[in-house]
Structure 1
Amino acid sequence: MRFLTLAALLLGTAVPALAQTAAPAPAPAAVPVPPTYPATPPKLIVAISVDQFSADLFAEYRARFTGGFVRMMQGAVFPSGYQSHAATETCPGHSTILTGSRPSRTGIIANDWIDQRGNNRPDHKVYCAEDERVPGSTFKDYTVSDVHLMVPTLGERMKAADPRTRVVSVAGKDRAAVMMGGHKVDELWWFGKDGFTSYAGRTMPPVVARANAAVAKQIATSQGPMTLPTFCQPLARAVAVAGKTIGTGRFERAAGDVNNFRRSPEYDAAVLALAAGLIQDMKLGRGPQTDIISIGASATDYVGHGYGTEGSEMCLQLTSLDQSLGEFFKVLDATGVDYQVVLTADHGGSDASERHAHHAIPDAVRQDGELTVEGIGKAIGQKLGIAGPILFGGVNGDVWYDIKLTPAQKAAVEREAIAMFMAHPQTQAVFTRAQIMATTVPNTPPETWTLVERARASFYPPRSGDLLVAMKPRVLTLPHPVVGSAVATHGSFWDYDRRVPILFWRKGAGGFEEPFGVETVDILPTLAATIGLNVPKGEIDGRCLDLNPGEGSTCR
């Protein structure tokens, strides 16, 4: 599915082409002048997050890109960016991108957590982008909210400095839109049950109504299999996982199949088309101030979960996204606006263990389905004579004790829990709340961090658990036997989930590549410097990255 099709439906016309001009007469040879970053602030900041776009996928496909990613690779390329914390999930990752802060400061410790005091739900679960205080809101049917994000985003800081700033956020997932947009947005839209939606009571602009009509028409139309590029064909090898076959898919879809629409290149095309429409209709970047739009492209994550990362499906997804980004940039070019783009990801990801076994990695296995927090809690209760439940949470993440336990019971439960988790051969480490709190928040290169330092970057005391459990590398925390549609996942402490590319591009800025590790929390101070926005160092965790490829610095 090409971006052009949905953009034409949405905008009412074909994507505008760039104006063509006659080639100038050859100039006399001159000594090359090193490029420098433009001296004036950009008029529009475009922040794009490609969900589950790992540094490994970027390295695998960068030589195959011919569209939008090629443009990004002509700018400042940081191939080893880090979501440096341990909780490599969607919500924590998106919370770092435009806040300059790690989850230990944003408060977004995971996609969900346990709150035994703040709600009356039997499982005590809270979703990261909900307001559980709203009557009738449940964990599965929640009211979307920004209440849990504890820090301001770049857009909020820009609006505080200049109230004329427009802040827009569009994404396939609500948590991506909320965590990048923040608390003070002019427009915030995500793809819900019936198309793009927003907070209750928000007026739907005409461009969103047009987008929903275009997407509804697209979903109602069946789609045949996509053409597989020649370089994708060697990846089209069937792999059996739990009674289903992955690796050979080409995104054919029956009419009305919303789930497979999400799990296809069509989904990102819809999000980018709406973003393009909002930029045009709102005339972003054409006022006296700098505006900002954040865009969450979610399809890569859905494809990674549903089909894994190394089959024909991911090859088609990334090459299609490359073309969609190229068409999106053409729309921006046609506006004449001076825009600065940053592209990164919320986390990486791991392939299905069954395909790893075919690729010479036989020790890549699924989590033992018998290793569960509930099972260990039950065993502890039986041993200590304590009525359950004893523990809440999940393996490879936060674990909470029942708040009704006495101090003596908690101490006994902690000893038993650590012993039982560590007795399992798939467990790498178990850290207590006290151990994590005693660890200094790291400020060294992220690739050098210890596991407990990674845990500290994810730890927010009012919400984090009593224990944090880390599985061994290459243990895929999607247990055997596989149940449901997902065959692969992310969320580990390890670099295949932590490392993501960070790419900056602006017309006339020149480019370079820096292989050393940087962090996604560095994005906010880097962009803030380009527009002359002061951000006190004590309020964030990131540092400014110099985007000037020559002498001089953009970090002023």
Structure 2
Amino acid sequence: MLKNVAAALLLASSLPALAQSPVALPAAPATAAAAPTAPPKLIVAISVDQFSADLFSEYRQYYTGGLRRLTEQGIVFPRGYQSHAATETCPGHSTILTGSHPSRTGIIANSWYDLTAARADKLVYCAEDETQPGTSSADYQASPVHLRVPTLGGRMKAANPATRVVSVAGKDRAAIMMGGSTADQVWWLGGPQGYVSYKGVATPPLVAKVNKVFAQRLAEPNPGFELPPQCVAKDFPVKAGSLTVGTGRFAREAGDYKAFRVSPEQDAMTLAFAAAAIENMALGRQAQTDIISIGLSATDYIGHAYGTEGTESCIQVDRLDRELGAFFDRLDKDGLDYAVVLTADHGGHDLPERHRLNAMPMEQRVDKALMPKALSATIAEKTGITGKTLIWGDGPAGDLYFDRGLTVAQRGKVEAATLALLRAHPQVQTVFTRAEIAATPSPSGPPESWSLIQEARASFDPQRSGDLLLLLKPRIMSIPEAAVMGYVATHGSPWDTDRRVPILFWRKGLTHFEQPLGVETVDILPTLAALIQLPVPKDQIDGRCLDLIAGEGDSCPPQ
């Protein structure tokens, strides 16, 4: 079994080799040192895609590497919230370094419908420029054009043009939403060819080297990973439709890109790239503070493909912990003064079939009748309005759009019939109209106490949101049957399984403490901005600064 991904990946001397064993942490000092007052030279912002607060807590006692450092030496907010309703990858990443809810960032979902768009494909991907000729939501030109607000890196660069802003991720939407439109370097794993960028720049030598190492590793098989002791009890098969999951080790044949992407190997490669970029670009070694954002996507791919409670997810969290430890060790070895924040873009929910085996017999998959095409056909039959698609949507939950060619009378008839059908369905929690959401004040206060319509308001954009917002009941998986798109599980609901994420800060010299009360991912930007003494007007963001000083003292500016 393959014991360390990074050791196999980092074949080139220019890529810093990550540690090959778990990190041994030094003993805590007897007395707390004074908190640092000067800004750190480098901010490292890490998003672990689909790393729910539940997943973080489940394996916390087993951490030995980077996650142990953050949880035992850092400032821990185990009850962080992606507080909006649309708990998807693009909206979640848009909140992390902007300090703003999706209602302000404009990123309301991974995709939304624009029925006025000139192109035939009316579905718009969050990280594309749909105005480019010949493109579609599936074959697009990646772009940050839809992100309406600056990221922390953008604000840093506006204050000091010497600031370097770099973003590296497994997904384009993660890299783009955290890097923003003014980033110097934005790279993501674009396929078997390696890391690509939307910026159209010539591939620099570092990225060429990274891609060469990636190609060499991909060309070799992976015999799989050893099963950590904490994963043994999870090693049993679960049948989900035509798929069987729960016992995987990530064995991979040579050249199998999909298997590489859906495995711990992807995150190891992304961290190796990030470490090499920091060293090659001398980030954190000049007068100004630099920032690198790192999107680790494997946990999400694995959660979708295998669920969150089998050997696959258990191995992934173990590997993530080890690789993060090695990455931080490398930064320490280079003597960098850096601050870390680690969080997630959303949580996740395990597949119903395994839940039903483990004390949750009420778990269900969504009724196919709620899929947009089926719903549209039913409403057409009920209203007698035929010859067109009445209702557009990207799935059996979320935003629904009425055809723009309907007369006022027809639209009223369609809306009434749709509301009546959905509100009577046993799997539907509620349906909000756009008028109801728009009339709701923007939410504030503890995110754990928000109502569903407040969560919906935090995701609402009048130009992009639908005519209705459909929310399913808890414990209804919004995939109608396993193996749709190769997925057995997903997220995207307004429930805490998908909203709650860990938020962890670390900097050498800060004293560890843990705050169990709820905070939001939009609080990250003002918190980091305070560390580097960067003023951010309060009326431009939704978050608040979190005081990272244990006890007396305050890392936030006066209110």
Sort the TM-score into its range (normalised by shorter chain). over 0.9
* SS of residue paired to 1:522: helix
- The corresponding residue for 1:127 is 125
Letter in 1 for 2:88: E
Alpha-carbon spacing, 1:149–1:552, altered in 2? closer, same or farther (3 Å) = same
Which deviations, in whole Å up to 9, do the C-alpha atoms of 1:255-292 show, x marking residues without a partner?
Answer: 11100100100000000000000000000000100000
Secondary structure of 1:551's match?
coil
Structure 1: runs of 5 or more not aligned = 19-29
TM-score, normalised by the number of residues in structure 2: 0.95
Match of 1:23 in 2: none
- Name the counterpart of 2:309: 310
The amino acid that maps onto 1:469 is: L
- For residue 139 of structure 1, report the CA deviation from its aligned partner: 1.3
State the shift of 1:138 in Å.
Answer: 1.5
Question: Contact 1:343–1:504 (CA<8 Å) still a contact in 2?
Answer: yes
Distance 2:155 2:310 in 1: 41
Shift of 1:385: 2.3
Deviation by residue 1:97-153 (Cα, 9 ceiling, x = unmatched)? 00000000000000000001123224x100000001111221111100000000000
- Following superposition of structure 1 onto structure 2, how do residues 83-482 of structure 1 map, counting pairs within 5 Å? 83-122=82-121, 124-193=122-191, 194-199=193-198, 201-387=200-386, 388-393=388-393, 394-480=395-481, 482=483
Q: What's the offset of the Cα at 1:36?
A: 4.1
Distance 1:429 1:16 in 2: 48
Q: Does 1:8 align with 2:13?
A: no
Amino acid across the alignment from 1:75: G
Instruction: Return the match for 1:69 from 61, 67, 80.
Output: 67
Question: In structure 2, do the counterparts of structure 1 residues 6 and 529 end up closer, same or farther at CA, with 3 Å as the change threshold?
Answer: farther
Percent identity for Structure 1 against Structure 2: 57
8 Å CA contact retained: 2:16, 2:330? no
Asked if the contact 2:93–2:177 (Cα under 8 Å) also holds between the matched residues in 1, the reply is yes
Cα distance in 1 for residues equivalent to 2:518 and 2:439:
25
Task: Identify the range of structure 1 (338-347 vs 239-248) with the bigger mean alpha-carbon deviation.
Answer: 239-248
What is the count of residue pairs matched by the alignment? Answer: 543
Q: Given residue 255 of structure 1, which amino acid in structure 2 is its aligned partner?
A: A
Conserved? CA contact 1:89–1:110, under 8 Å: yes
> Which deviates further from its counterpart, 108-117 or 473-482?
473-482
Structure 1 residues 171, 13: closer, same or farther in 2, change over 3 A?
A: closer
Partner SS for 1:9:
coil
Please give the secondary structure, in 2, of the residue aligned with 1:478.
coil
Q: Residue 7 of structure 1: CA displacement?
A: 5.7
Paired with 2:108 and 2:116, the residues of 1 have a C-alpha distance of: 17
What letter corresponds to residue 4 of structure 1 in structure 2?
Answer: A
Is 195-204 or 536-545 further displaced after alignment? 195-204
Amino acid at match of 1:424: H
TM-score, structure 1 normalization = 0.95
Q: Give 1:15 shift.
A: 2.8
**Whole-angstrom CA distance in 2 between matches of 1:513 and 1:257:** 42
**Counterpart in 2 of 1:492?**
493
Asked if 2 retains the 8 angstrom alpha-carbon contact of 1:253 and 1:261, the reply is yes
8 Å contact kept, 2:18–2:323: no
- Helix, strand or coil: the match of 2:369? coil
Match of 2:517 in 1: 516
Query: Does the alignment pair 1:39 with 2:37?
Result: yes
Residue 25 of structure 1 corresponds to which residue in structure 2?
none
After superposing the two structures, state which structure 1 stretch, 512-521 or 36-45, moved more: 36-45
1:377, CA displacement in angstroms? 1.7
Contact map agreement 1:167 1:293 (CA 8 A) in 2:
yes
Deviation of 1:371 after TM superposition, in Å, equals 2.0
Whole-Å separation in 1 of the counterparts to 2:275 and 2:286: 17
Structure 2 CA distance for aligned equivalents of residues 10 and 445 of structure 1? 48
Letter matched to residue 422 of structure 1 = R
Judged with a 3 Å threshold, the aligned counterparts in structure 2 of structure 1 residues 427 and 42 are, in CA distance, closer, same or farther, namely same
Check 1:3–1:480 CA distance in 2 against 1; reply closer, same or farther (3 A cut): closer
Question: Contact conserved, 2:170 with 2:267, CA < 8 A, in 1?
Answer: yes
Q: 2:25 maps to what in 1?
A: none
Report the alpha carbon displacement of residue 17 of structure 1 after superposing the two structures with TM. Answer: 7.9
Q: Distance in 2 between matches of 1:496 and 1:370?
A: 25
Q: CA deviation at 1:384?
A: 2.1
* CA contact 2:368–2:374 (8 Å) conserved in 1: no
Q: C-alpha root-mean-square deviation of aligned residues, in Å?
A: 1.5
Cα distance in 2 between the residues matched to 1:510 and 1:137: 51
CA–CA separation in structure 2 for the residues paired with 1:202 and 1:14: 24
Q: CA deviation at 1:203?
A: 2.0
Partner of 1:27: none
Query: Post-superposition, which runs of at least 4 consecutive aligned residues in structure 1 deviate over 3 A?
Result: 10-14, 32-36
Contact 1:35-1:550 within 8 A present in 2 as well: no
- Contact 1:10–1:273 under 8 Å retained in 2: no
SS of aligned partner of 2:188: strand
| Larger CA deviation: 254-263 vs 474-483 | 474-483
Structure 2: tracts of 5 or more residues without a match? 21-28
Alpha-carbon deviation of 1:10?
Answer: 4.2
Tell me the SS of whatever aligns to 1:63: helix
| Contact 1:36–1:549 (Cα < 8 Å) also in 2 | no
Q: 1:439 to 1:305 in 2, by over 3 A?
A: same
What residue is the counterpart of 2:80 in the other structure? 81
Deviation at 1:242, TM superposition (A): 1.2
- C-alpha displacement of 1:359: 0.8
Q: Give the letter aligned to residue 165 of structure 1.
A: T
CA distance in 2, matches of 1:6, 1:168: 25
